[in-house]
Structure 1
């Protein structure tokens, strides 16, 4: 960090949301060991004992990290600035915020942002490259965790577990046993949209249930790369949608994947089929899925969704009252082991960045 090299005091890192639980202490100690001085946002640290331990050792603040204006004001406070930001949620790293964080009036200029997660679709990568801010993430660190919940949601949707639970709690045995017999993963054909680490792990898991796996990947997922993959490669998305009993989405949010499975694509799905989305809401528009699920003549029979356009305390979705959809609050990657792995991986990325002999290569800035 060139800005840090020009200052006698350690470089400052704003920890917008620390790792959960005791991992937060390990993470903060490691950041300090890298020569960074953490300022820790306590907004998403609910445990009073942990908050007290953090307050006793590090500078702390309390603000809404999902608010662009609050985040910008924190960075600009007292004209000090930060050389680095660390987060695990999708903070609003917009062009305007990046420009404010790298402004000449600040004593410290932002040069590194790290997110302990795979995605960075709330980050403006183009602005980061232009302003010389490197972006580091941890793809693959939560692959096993996301794959596990994906399979759990498949089983819930196929076996109607959540609906039967609600019926029994309401005292209705007759309602709880409606719709029997159910589908299963055994002998089902499972289609995966995407061919990354999560999709591969899902393929391995459902294969153990006896499912046949089909995969539609990006243009990089060539026949050669598919060799040895635990699933059969298909050429088109239409082939996958029309030929599978369960379709699970595992692609990032990009301009190319926005609306990838919309009204027309949902209509292609088999009668009685199931759709699972643990990727991003933009890939399968919620309104289109809601309409398809309510129409017995069109689209999937059941769905399970872990990602939404509006998340957090203001959560809203047209799927919220859809009886044919299982909902999960974007927690697929939130296991203890996955979050610990993501924290470790990000610390390694920070260390690698700090060890660079000079300013980062412009071609690498914001590219990972």
Structure 2
């Protein structure tokens, strides 16, 4: 980790830590931020361990607010006119134009100049507004790629082998129900189609091939045959071709205007009967309502799905899929391994250090949250 120590407290900049790294990593992260000459104010709303909360409060100023509430976030960034130069988060907080305008208001003593998220994407950030208002955005692309790929393959296996369904039926004492559908398909028998060619998708391809599965992949127009030459999977030309050819479809693209609704009802019904859909990317890419309807129709489309991302998450979580017996749900946990969160936290601190010292920009994101 790159650490720059600044002992001049009069020159210190304030950082609002909307959600620190989980567990003990929070203390390491906050100490590192302080080592950059930043003065942290820590939001402890998502710090559930009372002992950890106390240790944070003993060393730094703390607040307690809902970081997903746009109005509250804007108010906290204004901080009664004091303001902050830096914001750090790890969740998809609503850094909208309205919030950014509040955080950069002329009447503030300190104006926001840097916002960072310890994650790959930043699709809940208004990048255009950030550019207009002079706020740099930093993320940690690829830091959780292995973690997301692991859960993606685990969800594939659950959907193919019906692990969670058989567990529920055995707990209910229904041995006969638990053994329906046997023998089950395996990943070694499957042709897996990947939508997207980023770090997560490539890692998924490696894992699937290790199980003996066949991999097909669809990329953007930039994913030319030349670029696909060294990729661990066969390139296809269209989404229609991928959907028709594969037993499992797994989605790995960012949320952009181009990918919104990419997999809707028509695409789902074009999938092979009895196939599986896995979404560990972004909720906007796969239409939740359409997925719910198609899964309930045995005549066409996927027989099972596994979903880690939802339109409404957190305390406000709701989804039509909660009552769907053909879908396995996961609480946006794909990237949440200890090593992945540690890597993302460390890399974001490094990005902050480079920004504060005028160094090279590595984790810069473009308007749509993709690494640039």
TM-score of the two chains, using structure 1 as the length reference: 0.95
Deviations 1:322-358 (A, max 9, x none): 1110111100000000000000110111011111189
Aligned to 2:165: 163
Aligned to 1:351: 353
Extract unaligned runs of 5+ from structure 1: none
> The residue matched to 1:319 in structure 2 has which SS?
helix
> The residue matched to 2:41 in structure 1 has which SS?
strand
How far off its partner does 1:187 sit? 2.6
Aligned to 1:340: 342
Tell me if structure 1 keeps the 8 A contact 2:274–2:303. Answer: yes
Tell me if structure 2 keeps the 8 A contact 1:115–1:136. Answer: yes
Classify 1:41/1:285 alpha carbon distance in 2 versus 1 (closer, same or farther; 3 Å).
same
Tell me if structure 1 keeps the 8 A contact 2:197–2:217. Answer: yes
> The residue matched to 1:138 in structure 2 has which SS?
coil
Inter-partner Cα distance in structure 1 for 2:22 and 2:202: 27
Aligned to 1:78: 80
Tell me if structure 2 keeps the 8 A contact 1:133–1:365. Answer: no
Aligned to 1:272: 274
Aligned to 1:127: 129
Aligned to 1:262: 264
Inter-partner Cα distance in structure 2 for 1:151 and 1:50: 33
> The residue matched to 2:346 in structure 1 has which SS?
helix
Extract unaligned runs of 5+ from structure 2: 1-5
How far off its partner does 1:365 sit? 8.2
Tell me if structure 2 keeps the 8 A contact 1:145–1:333. Answer: yes
Q: How many residues align?
A: 360
Tell me if structure 2 keeps the 8 A contact 1:128–1:365. Answer: no
Q: Which runs of 4+ in 1 moved over 3 A?
A: 363-368
How far off its partner does 1:78 sit? 2.5
1:110 to 109, 112, 119: 112
Aligned to 2:100: 98
Tell me if structure 1 keeps the 8 A contact 2:138–2:365. Answer: no
Aligned to 2:178: 176
TM-score of the two chains, using structure 2 as the length reference: 0.94
Tell me if structure 1 keeps the 8 A contact 2:14–2:85. Answer: yes
Aligned to 1:140: 142
